[in-house]
């Protein structure tokens, strides 16, 4: 099984970067093959251009995103690591979905209903959020999770999706962060 990590955080001193390091450490220890797409390090261009020269139906032929589609095709499992900002994924990751998970590659329209084309893949979504869990469950209805899980990954055919959400990050202690990182490391070893 090959694993593709898609990482979206610009700060190398962040908790998200420590999560990435622990995921990679766990995968290496388990002798798992993986590849990393660090969207900020690669300076991925998230801007989707649709105009007379750039039509939605042609996105599957975009040479800029071809290498990303190939990496996703070759992977059995996708791991997404990112923070929640304004109750959504960072713009660079949203742009990655917009430009890479395109019609003809990630899904296709058949009749009235779309059909996901990434059916043989699984996903592990790891994200951080400053809000407390109770607030998210009561007032935000896990919108940050529902969008990624249901409206992107499941829409594209990925059904086996697990989530690790780290909440109330802004008010977390060093000790709680170390526990989170150890948990992530252990989960990565048995993925």
CATH number at residue 83: 3.40.50.360
Residue 123's φ and ψ, nearest 5 degrees, are -145, 145
* Nearest to 126, CA basis, from 27, 45, 1: 27
Question: What number is the average pLDDT over the span 135-158?
Answer: 82
95 pLDDT band, cuts 50/70/90, is very high
**Whole-angstrom distance, CA of residue 165 vs CA of residue 136:** 11
Percent of the chain with pLDDT over 90: 79
As a whole number of Å, the end-to-end CA separation of the chain is 10
Instruction: Write the DSSP string, the chain.
Output: -EEEEEE--S-TTSHHHHHHHHHHHHHHHTT-EEEEEETTTTT-------SSSS-GGGGGG-HHHHHHHHHHHH-SEEEEEEE-BTTB--HHHHHHHHHHS-BTTTEEEETTEEEES-TT-EEEEEEE-SS-HHHIIIIITTHHHHIIIIIIIITTT--EEEEEEE--GGG--HHHHHHHHHHHHHHHHT-
Q: Which residue has the tokens 């908790």?
A: 15
Residue 68 belongs to domain spanning: 2-189
- Half-sphere exposure at residue 123, Cβ-oriented, CA atoms within 13 angstroms: 22
Residues 6+ apart with CB under 8 A from 1: 32, 33, 76, 77
Contact 107, 59 (CB under 8 A): no
Residue 186's φ and ψ, nearest 5 degrees, are -65, -40
Condensed to tens digits (0 to 9), the pLDDT of residues 21-44 reads 999 999 999 999 999 999 999 999
**Structural domain tally of the chain?**
1
Minimum mean pLDDT among 40-44, 69-73, 105-109, 141-145: which range?
141-145
Burial of 124 (C-beta count, 10 Å sphere; 0-12/13-18/19+): buried
Residue 137 has pLDDT above 80, yes or no: no
């Amino acid at each position: 099984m090959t694993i593709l990590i898609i990482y979206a955080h610009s700060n190398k001193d962040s908790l998200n970067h420590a999560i990435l390091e622990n995921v990679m450490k766990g995968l290496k220890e388990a002798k798992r093959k993986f590849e990393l797409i660090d969207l900020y390090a690669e300076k991925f261009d998230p801007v989707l251009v649709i105009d007379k020269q750039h039509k939605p139906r042609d996105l599957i032929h975009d040479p800029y995103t071809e290498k990303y589609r190939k990496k996703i095709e070759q992977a059995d499992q996708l791991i997404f690591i990112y923070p929640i900002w304004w109750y959504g994924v960072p713009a660079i990751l949203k742009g990655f979905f917009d430009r890479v998970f395109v019609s003809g590659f990630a899904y296709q329209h058949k009749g009235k209903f779309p059909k996901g084309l990434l059916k043989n893949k699984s996903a592990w979504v790891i994200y951080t959020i400053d809000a407390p869990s109770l607030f998210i469950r009561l007032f935000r209805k896990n919108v940050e999770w529902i969008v990624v899980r249901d409206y992107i990954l499941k829409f594209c055919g990925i059904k086996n999706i697990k989530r690790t959400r780290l909440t109330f990050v802004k008010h977390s202690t060093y000790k709680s962060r170390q526990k989170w990182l150890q948990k992530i490391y252990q989960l990565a070893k048995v993925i």
